[in-house]
Structure 1
Amino acid sequence: MASPSSPAQVQILHYHGQSFVVGLLWHPLSSLTGYMREARQFGREQAMDIVAVRRTDSIIQAGFAARSAGAVKGMYSLAAVLAGQLGDSWIAAWRIAPNEDRYGLVAVFEGAVIPGSDRVGSAEDIQRKVEQLLGRSIHFAETFLPEEFQRGGRPLEIEALLEPRHLRREHRLHPLVFGLSPGERIRVAGVGILLIASLIGWQQWDAYSSRQIREAAIAAEQVRLAELAELNARAPTEQSLQALEHPWATRPSVDALVEGCQAAIDGLPLSIAGWVFVTAMCNGELLLATYKRTGNSTAAGFIQAAHGYFADSPAFFDQGNSATLRSSLSLPLAGDETLLNASDALAGLTSWLHERSLKPTLKEIPFQVSKPPALPGQPESAVPALPDWKHFELTFSSDLPPAALLRDVPGTGFRLNSITTQLKNYQLSWSVTGDLYAR
């Protein structure tokens, strides 16, 4: 029977009197002879001092943890134990205990534990992660999933797989130490001799191909984890991987974009060295401002004067009579949220705009789903399922600035694409485009 551990990412489960660690940070090691030196370097960079090393015919991979998270020498890596029995390509999830709403998850592809898949979480969290893994260009040879997930496969016999007779010394965690021991030097030399023999013949290309496939899958997962880290750095609350699949989660809220863009546009001078302001567009990441030459003003004078306002040089067009300047913005992101029913969302937003004498144009944007490219040597990917939410595009114009118009606008699922302003007859007019997402 499993028992819960701390709420940290690394968790300790207990089966048959043994302690199993879940939540290791898995990282591939590229050096066949100096992999422990590489592991120590990575451990220092990540402030982690406990490691489990997996060596197979096709990969050397290390799972890292910190003592402060509860992992200690002698415990077993649960992912390593399962990988030693279930093979090189599989995904498995299981309920931790009958009276708990917690599930474990491990996924292995081409012999490597997929980063981020060695974890324990709620039923919702683990089901969402399973959907993400099964929806990618990875084809698992075996699927072990609970019946309540309704994703096929067969249940995982976790108690049987973790019996003491299946545990091996190489599945244990041990501390990272510095330098090479005499025994390690002997093992490195032995690996070098074996390496020379293994590089002969057709196995060279087979090993290379397998490594390319594996590294592509791991690299894709690491990109997603980096994207999640960037989202969490700019979002008000911690986000899950599921948020990366929701376009509204990775964009600024209406209030944040209006405030940031309005301030950037208001800071634009109406004239720079005889060039007058014409129009500006702000999308939350970039501000583009267009100026037009008047009188005997020159491009050289405009370039020199513009340096006081913009870091980038202007881009000229219209035979040198117009120019565009740009500057970057970094606004906080809204993060994920629960969407409203489509009819309620549409009625609420349009009614709010109509009450302010605005005439929005609203249209639904159909989804276009295409097959993701298959990894080298893998079968063709299935077409992903359509999202379970709808997307509407909204536009409207006004003589009033968005900061005044959109105060307290219903913001659930509503994000702005851009704010554009144009100067005509000494009067600014404004155009707003946005997206509404709803169930």
Structure 2
Amino acid sequence: MVALLNTDTPKPSSRVQTIQHRGRVFVTGMLWIPLGNMTSYMKEARQYGQEHSLDIVAIRRTSLMIQAGFVSRTSDVNKGMYSLAATLAGQLGDSWIAAWAVDADQDRYAIVAVHEGRIIPGCDLIGTAAEVRKRVQQQRSRGIQFEREFLPPEFSMGGEALDIDELLQPSRLKREYRLRPLVFGMSKAELAQLLLVVLLVGGGLLAWSQWKDHQAEVARQAAIAAEKKRLEELAELQKKTGTEQPIQALEHPWAKQPSVTDFVETCSQVIYQLPLNIQGWSFDKAECNGSQVMATYHRDGNSNALGLAKATANHFSMRPEFAEQGNTATLRFDISVGAAGDDPLLEASDALEALTTWFHSFSQEPQLQPMQVVVPQEPALPGQPAPPPPPPPQWKQYQLSYTTGVLPYDSFNGAPTQGLRLQEIKTEYKADHLIWSVTGVLYAK
């Protein structure tokens, strides 16, 4: 039976954990990144470890890539321990996902996933059954088709059983699965590999072989750059939301947009404070798109552009923009709204029913029209064939629009906004009243 070394439930912020089996210690929760240099990969790994205060590494080499898993000694991890993900990846192949109970009584489950030969970041960890089940669902929602799935029967998600005791037998463990320190020089194996490369280069390669190697290197570098870009985009999204986000959030447009509450509050803070008259210029209309509020005023009587410019100096993001022979002016105010992050979607019928019911209670008639979901095609890597078409989208979209005399803050106060994102709020001053127009997109499954 595989057991946790620490019986206390780990803190949510502590991703690195260890399990033991027959005297061997296995590490989970490592940071996995691709390495680009096929001959000096340890140098690249040491540089990355030094920049991020990580001093223990596990190296995985396949025919297509080199991947490094990093961890720090401060997590009570030492050389000679084994990477759990690398151990399983070395035996189960290039496409699989596995989850199993580490300690069912303590609700502790492990998950490891490999796709196209690489360990998937965020799928080398130990958590509760709910957390691990959610990770499995997240990978499925990305459209990944694993060749094999090893899932516990209590998840009721299909798959086959995993004989983890057999896979972690000491006789199955290789040196390449071990963790190694980053503070020493190159190993003998690395020196031997480097010497072999030098001899091959020194002996000369045929022009065809050189070209093929060059193309493969370009493709590897492009794949590494794309993966690093995805990780950077995920880090930026997590910074905007202030919470940890799953990797598939990058594919969900609603994850990168502000919540309804934040959108309405930020726009309202500016629009509600716009005066109806500024030095003889009367308010006409205003628009807010989440990044900027644009207010339009028209000139009355003998008011003039200079008077408006002086009155609004230092109150807006730029000087007024005049049009129609100087009779109308646009004032702009820059705003910033954070992202809402990823969240589960409701069934389309339930989401539409809840939203229309809410607006009908205000005697409003919202328009909810289906929208085509376009999933972008990934570009081909240099020297590689075009990738297959993207899988069909896992969600639906509906364009929301309505016009009302009710303030947006009141319209959405308590509204069922799960999966709803606003795009624009407009208001127009007519017959001594403000008329509001709102547009947005409802995402559902």
Q: What TM-score do you get using the length of structure 2 for normalisation?
A: 0.77
- The answer as to 2:182 corresponding to 1:176 is yes
1:106 to 113, 117, 124: 113
1:289–1:325 CA contact under 8 A, matched in 2: yes
Alpha-carbon displacement from aligned partner over 1:335-377 (angstroms, at most 9, x marks no partner): 44455555554444333333333x2222241443557336443
Alignment of 1:6-405 (within 5 A): 6=10, 8-31=14-37, 34-55=40-61, 58-85=64-91, 89-97=94-102, 99=104, 102-109=109-116, 112-121=118-127, 122=129, 123-132=132-141, 134-135=143-144, 143-146=147-150, 158-177=164-183, 180=185, 190=195, 193-194=198-199, 196-197=201-202, 200-201=205-206, 202-235=208-241, 238-268=244-274, 277-292=283-298, 297=304, 308-312=314-318, 324-340=330-346, 342-357=348-363, 359-370=364-375, 372-373=377-378, 375-376=380-381, 377=384, 380-387=387-394, 389-405=395-411
- Classify 1:24/1:195 alpha carbon distance in 2 versus 1 (closer, same or farther; 3 Å): farther
Q: Is the 8 A contact 2:16 2:75 kept in 1?
A: yes
**The one of 414, 418, 422 aligned to 1:416:** 422
Separation of aligned partners in 2, 1:320 and 1:204: 67
Work out the CA distance in 2 between the residues paired with 1:313 and 1:381: 50
DSSP-derived class of the 1:115 partner: strand
In the alignment, the residues of structure 1 paired with residue 97 and residue 18 of structure 2 have an alpha-carbon distance, to the nearest angstrom, of 18
Q: How many residues align?
A: 428
Shift of residue 50, structure 1, vs aligned partner: 1.4
Query: Which deviations, in whole Å up to 9, do the C-alpha atoms of 1:66-93 show, x marking residues without a partner?
Result: 2233422111123333444556x43342
For 2:413, what is the secondary structure of its paired residue?
A: coil
TM-score, scaled relative to structure 1: 0.78
| Separation in structure 1 between the aligned mates of residue 443 and residue 149 of structure 2, nearest angstrom | 32
Q: CA deviation at 1:384?
A: 1.8
Question: C-alpha distance in 2, partners of 1:245/1:132?
Answer: 10
> Secondary structure of the residue that 2:147 maps to in structure 1?
strand
Task: Tell me if the contact between 1:22 and 1:77 (Cα under 8 Å) persists in the aligned partners.
Answer: yes
- Judge which range, 34-43 or 218-227, deviates more: 218-227
Structure 1 residue 9, shift from structure 2 partner: 1.9
Cα distance in 1 for partners of 2:204, 2:90 equals 24
Relative to 1, partners in 2 of residues 1:303 and 1:64: Cα closer, same or farther, differing over 3 Å? farther
How far did residue 134 of structure 1 move?
4.4
SS at match of 1:260: helix
Judged with a 3 Å threshold, the aligned counterparts in structure 2 of structure 1 residues 218 and 102 are, in CA distance, closer, same or farther, namely farther
Partners of 1:106 and 1:438 in 2: how far apart? 27
Aligned-partner residue type, residue 77 of structure 1: S
CA distance in structure 2 between the partners assigned to 1:104 and 1:303 by the alignment: 62
Q: Structure 1 104/34 Cα, relative in aligned 2: closer, same or farther at 3 Å?
A: same
SS of the aligned residue for 2:80 comes to coil
CA pair 69-288 structure 1, distance change in 2 beyond 3 A = farther
Structure 2: distance between partners of 1:151 and 1:223: 32
Q: What fraction of aligned residue pairs are identical, expressed as a percent?
A: 40
The answer to whether the 8 Å contact 1:105/1:120 transfers is no
Q: CA deviation at 1:65?
A: 0.9
CA distance in 1, matches of 2:203, 2:28: 33
Counterpart CA distance in 1 for 2:369 and 2:203 is: 58
5+ long unaligned stretches in structure 1: none
2:2 maps to which residue?
2
Unaligned runs of 5+ in 2: none
The alignment's C-alpha RMSD in Å is 4.1
Question: 1:199 & 1:432 partners in 2: Cα distance?
Answer: 68
C-alpha distance in 1 between matches for 2:313 and 2:96: 56
- Give per-residue Cα distances to partners, 1:105-140, cap 9 Å, x unaligned: 23153x5444344344544233224325544xxxx8
User: Structure 1 stretch 93-102 or stretch 12-21: which is displaced more?
Assistant: 93-102
